[in-house]
Chain A
Amino acid sequence: MELFNELLLGFSVALTPTNLAYGFLGVLLGTIIGVLPGLGPVATISILLPVTFALPAPAALIMLAGIYYGAQYGGSTTAILVNLPGESSSVVTAIDGYQMARKGRAGLALATAALSSFLAGTLATVVIAVAAPALAEVALDFGPADYFSLMLFGLIAAVILAHGSVIKAIGMILVGILLGTMGIDANTGLERYTFGVPTFGDGIDFAVIAMGMFGIGETIANLERGEASRTFVKEVRGLWPSFAEIRSFLKPALRGTVLGGCLGLLPGGGPVLASFSTYALEKKLSKEPGRFGHGAIEGVAGPEAANNAAAQTAFIPMLTLGLPSSAVMALMIGALMMQGLSPGPQLMNQRPDLFWGLIASMWLGNLMLVILNLPLVGIWVKLLSVPYRMLYPAIMLFCCIGVYSIHNNALDVVLAAIFGGFGFIAQRLRCEPAPLLLGFILGPMIEETLRRALLISHGDPTVFVTRPISLTFLVMAFLLLIVLVAPMIRMTRQKAFEEGAE
């Protein structure tokens, strides 16, 4: 009954015309920046943070939160249509989403993404309302050793992402890890691979590599293929999912919600780790894993549900403990402090209107997003019929603006161009960009948590097997490795045929 009253309070706050309006503004902005490549929620929230100084606290938080999860919705759009992930968390969506679009099922892919996100958003809101404080405790139990084992597990799972050669995927992961080591080392303060350039001290931004490898690389590749290869545009069909299709993506979306919801609680990984581990899970569960990478609907539904669920559960440590699990959450804490509120365990009791209002607004925001996005599907799909000579200069322009906006640094644009060239070469060599990006994200985290865990244990490596959480992930990683390696040995002969057939 208490929960009911609290939710009632929440909705009474979230449903006031002002808060509804700011919530809508937030999700609209979020969708737009999600669609635009490079422009991410961190940059957008940074820009708008000072503006919220003048707003009442609930309105400010509702709007900023809307931007964040709105971007998760919007990010899938360009990933599906032009193989350009607008957000880091939609990198995985691009793999099968874009293939669906190439097969004339862009509308279905977009609708699947929106509906899966809505489903995940709704369930995650319920979870936050019911179990936020308890879940925050679980997140605190994760120590550096546990993170290390989780990340290691993730890195091994990254191999599953590849639908081509496993050796090439491992190679790309390693290149990603190397790129991730750039910058000033946290433990010793030594510079690595900075070549004396001060800007490299903070490493390369994820968006620079993603925009280059996907956006620019894909553009070059398509120019080579020429306009003639775009036969798929003319046969756009199936804007709305049929009942059978809804049934086929419902289960993956639910699994994605659970996995994403859990990973969202943990700092660092969040939506990115959530989306690709769901993809890996779906591919492993599937009876025909061969369809993945060639337009499997599960490969869109699962990751999209996961990244939206993770985006929402990421609020739990911030709201209940005042701990930021990501850059966006750190900004949210900044927003609260500017309002004269201090995030922490007492916030829930001191300002129940704010806490429950935000939770209620999340569900309303998700509803708005699905209402906003579904009718747009038809319009987005039309984007595919825009001729290359107009579409690609526009993509280039948005990539450049997006990349420049991260640090207002022209060097980032040059770097993105270099990664564009690299992305094109990689594509010609049939090396996929997704494993590289995951190596780039996970590599530095693995290093950081490994060194931290060993510092804390004073150099004793048994800490990884004596902690139950860590041990569980290590065992899972080992099992996964066996699952991966066993068929590889069998498949070596088969592969010779496959490649000959292509």
Chain B
Amino acid sequence: MTDSVKFSRRQAGIAFITGAALAAGLLAAPSARAQSDYPNQPITVIVPFAPGGASDFAARLLQPRLSEILGQQIVVENRDGAAGNVGMDIAARAKPDGYTLFLGNVGTVSINPFIFSSLRVKPLQDFIPVSIVADTPGLMIANPAFPPNNVKELVEYVKARPGQVNFASPGTGSVNRLEMEAFRREAGLDMIHVPYKGGAGPAAADVMGGHVSLMFVTISSGINHVKGGRLKALGVTTKQRVAQLPDVPTMTEQGYPKSVSSSWQGILVPAGTPEPIVNKLHAAVVEAMKDQKIRDRMAESGVIAVSSASPAEFKAYIAADAAKWGAIIKEIGAKAD
């Protein structure tokens, strides 16, 4: 991984030296001065997943416009490993000066703290949320030959066959698994969980091949298979129907209002970052998310471009999201150590 990483590290090194020199010279100067000319050096966005995934996609889409608004180069650095915990740990321990941003998502920030008890990072204490950027609804997909065509039929079908219907997921602690767990608790269904590894691809392939009946996927990984007729969609986890799949009813419409969830991505900064910088970043992210090109690009794959009204609103959003998933994880007893 290296060209981009080395490059950014070297830059960080240079930045550190100039920063140190500046700090020595301006020791007595009020810190507000350093903040008022923020940003005066390149900003790194740490993505805790490999290139090519949903988080990387969001970061790369945001990169050019955010760079334009802030007048500084934005460097995207992929630090993947341990379900995103490696990158999150690096970001949490970065200097809180506004030059290291973290592209957090539902998995790292809301779910992992409940799954990995050895996780050192406490997202809501170690980070200051800036703004959400992408909202990716969950889509309940099934093999076209699976008899139920909507959630109502599904509930009847499963109730008549307790413990006989299998559902797949991209992993034990994945949001897609938890979405199904939440739904089946609400509906009182007995189904068997079949976990997969390596993203939604292998699991979706087995649903397509008819080996497993149904699963939740992010709308971006399911939308084309649904449009191409390879899979059918039973419901979507948004409050209103999604423009790209107007015929797919929401879970709420079908009587399951608790099944509203999202695989979101958002920008966070390490705790201790000065408030003026957080506010400046927030304004910049909100501005960037207004960009029509970004909105269109996201919409193509069913992702909704969003931003938070204030950092506090994003914080409240994360707190509610984490509380919801935390409760479900406790109920099903999923643990990674």
The residues in A between 137 and 168 inclusive whose CB is less than 8 angstroms from any CB of B are 140-144
The residues in B between 138 and 156 inclusive whose CB is less than 8 angstroms from any CB of A are none
Are A345 and B56 interface neighbours, CB within 8 A?
no
CB distance from A43 to the nearest CB of B (A): 6
Q: Which residues of A contact B204 (CB under 8 A)?
A: 323
Bound Cα distance A335, B227 (Å)? 20
Q: Does B50 contact A (CB under 8 A)?
A: yes
Are B199 and A186 interface neighbours, CB within 8 A?
no
Q: Does B256 contact A (CB under 8 A)?
A: no
Closest to A322 in B: B224
Q: Does A287 contact B (CB under 8 A)?
A: no
Q: Does B183 contact A (CB under 8 A)?
A: no
Q: Does B171 contact A (CB under 8 A)?
A: yes
Q: Does A352 contact B (CB under 8 A)?
A: no
Are A331 and B228 interface neighbours, CB within 8 A?
no
CB distance from A413 to the nearest CB of B (A): 14
Q: Does B2 contact A (CB under 8 A)?
A: yes
Cβ contact of A334, chosen from B51, B205, B225, B227, cutoff 8 A: B51
Bound Cα distance A455, B166 (Å)? 8
Q: Does A196 contact B (CB under 8 A)?
A: yes
- Interface membership of chain A positions 292-324, coded 1 if the CB is closer than 8 angstroms to chain B and 0 otherwise: 000000000000000000000000010001111
Q: Which residues of B contact A43 (CB under 8 A)?
A: 1-2
Q: Does B185 contact A (CB under 8 A)?
A: no
Contact flag A186-B195 (CB < 8 Å), given A334-B53, A346-B227: yes
Contact flag A323-B172 (CB < 8 Å), given A330-B52, A408-B1: no
Are B301 and A342 interface neighbours, CB within 8 A?
yes
Q: Which residues of A contact B81 (CB under 8 A)?
A: 199, 201-202, 407
Are B86 and A198 interface neighbours, CB within 8 A?
yes
Are B82 and A202 interface neighbours, CB within 8 A?
yes
Q: Does A234 contact B (CB under 8 A)?
A: no
Q: Does A46 contact B (CB under 8 A)?
A: yes
What is the total number of residues of chain B having a CB less than 8 Å from a CB of chain A?
Answer: 61
* Contact residues on A (Cβ < 8 Å of other chain), bracket: 35 or more
Q: Does B192 contact A (CB under 8 A)?
A: yes
- Interface membership of chain B positions 161-173, coded 1 if the CB is closer than 8 angstroms to chain A and 0 otherwise: 0011010000111
Are A184 and B336 interface neighbours, CB within 8 A?
yes
Q: Which residues of B contact A46 (CB under 8 A)?
A: 1, 50-52, 78
Are B57 and A187 interface neighbours, CB within 8 A?
no
Contact flag A334-B208 (CB < 8 Å), given A46-B51, A186-B195, A196-B118: no
Contact flag A186-B86 (CB < 8 Å), given A317-B205, A405-B2: no
- The 3 A-B pairs at the shortest CB distance, nearest first, are namely A334-B52, A344-B224, A345-B228
Residue ranges of A at the interface with B (Cβ–Cβ < 8 Å): 43, 46-47, 49-50, 53, 140-144, 184, 186-191, 196, 198-199, 201-202, 267, 317, 321-324, 327, 330-331, 333-335, 337-338, 340, 342-346, 405, 407-408, 448, 452, 455-456, 458
A-B contact pairs, 11 of them (CB 8 A): A46-B50, A46-B78, A47-B51, A49-B51, A196-B118, A201-B83, A201-B336, A202-B81, A331-B52, A338-B60, A345-B228
Residue ranges of B at the interface with A (Cβ–Cβ < 8 Å): 1-5, 50-53, 56-57, 60, 76, 78-83, 85-86, 115, 118, 163-164, 166, 171-173, 192-199, 201-202, 204-206, 208-209, 211-212, 220, 223-225, 227-230, 297, 300-301, 334-337
Having A46-B50, A49-B51, A452-B195, one finds 6 other A-B pairs with CB under 8 Å, namely A322-B225, A323-B208, A331-B52, A334-B53, A455-B193, A458-B164
